[in-house]
A and B are shown apart, each in its own frame.
Chain A
Amino acid sequence: MSAPASGLAQIGKSVFIKGELSGSEDLYLDGHVDGSIALKGNNLTVGPNGQVKASVEAKGVVVQGKLDGNIQASDRVELRKSAVVNGDISTQRISIEEGAFLKGKVDIHRTDTK
């Protein structure tokens, strides 16, 4: 289980946030968020205790906990084995570990690399 890197912005497991969460740095979220998350150009990690009910927009998204909402990632999405995701995923690349639970659509959008 990957732990948050030091210096990374973190939301601990006892924190509840209701509303719009946005930022311009990578975020490790192990608490509860109900609303929306926008980290354009940055990465979001939902930790094993994380419980998110929000649409997510980020560069990369790693899920170890529970996420209810659509994920739009400009780069990649990783669902770890403990992930429970209910929502559609739109990304360029995706990796899903054995044991992860997904209910939703997976849409891979390719960008031409010329």
Chain B
Amino acid sequence: MSSVSQNFMKLFRGSSGPPTTPAQSSQKVTRRSSGLAELSRSWESAEGLCVLDLGSTSPNNIRHFTERGHRIYSEDLLTASTDPELAIKDEEGNDILDSRKFLADNLVYPAAQFDVILCWNLPDYLDESLVKPVVGRLWSVLKPGGMLLAFFHTRDAGPDSPCHRFHIVGGDVLEMQKIELRRESRRGATGAAPTALSEGFQLQRVFNNRHIENLFRDFASIKFFLARDSIREVLVVR
């Protein structure tokens, strides 16, 4: 597994431009999700829920919730974390991300705003310096009794551990689409030509059960679902 700073520098080498945006390939894989099945029972029976989707913008997910009368907020945190302005050095000169600035620019909501947070595989790919601060902020914006769904790899399968965006296509069915990055030329401050980035986000670490329990220790309960594809699904309740 490559280090955080290596991944980070690989992503931004030679660039002072804007954050990247995910480009979607057409390849989609369907998988069943026990965590989603349990979670979906809440939005099928309740009205007017407030849902936060932290994955790449998904038309499916927006349609899924708005058709049921729920409000959905979309915020692609992984893409937001690639903003070059977040790059700082720590006291030892190592490349890190400025978590304070990140949380000043992202996840800015009133306390206890959301009934459901769809975290997807964000913690596996998010820079180490952001993981705990982000989970702390998620705790504060989730309502007491609100639920959060997250996915974790159980092993590092290298190229077979691509970062996916998740589309809800049924009560317990997801479509997964590999995320590839492209430079968003329109947002360039310098007007420079777009730079193709063929690599997607890379797995930063593999959490074991104890790590996950520790990560969500401020939450009231945590439930694990182990799937066949080396993904551990986690449903936590604040």
Contact = CB atoms under 8 A, between A and B. Distances in A.
A94 B62 contact: yes
Interface residues of B, number: 18
A17 B79 CA distance: 30
Interface in A58-114: 65-66, 82, 84, 94-108
B176 to A, nearest CB: 14
Contact of A84 (B62, B72, B186): B186
Contact count band on A: 20 to 34
Interface of B: 21, 23-24, 57, 59, 62, 66, 71-76, 79-80, 184, 186-187
Nearest to A88: B73
The 5 A-B pairs at the shortest CB distance, nearest first, are namely: A96-B59, A108-B66, A102-B57, A105-B73, A102-B74
A31 interface: no
* Chain B interface main SS type: mixed
15 contacts: A65-B186, A66-B187, A84-B21, A94-B62, A96-B57, A96-B59, A99-B23, A101-B79, A102-B74, A103-B74, A103-B80, A105-B73, A106-B62, A106-B72, A107-B66
* Chain A interface main SS type: strand
Contacts of B80: 103
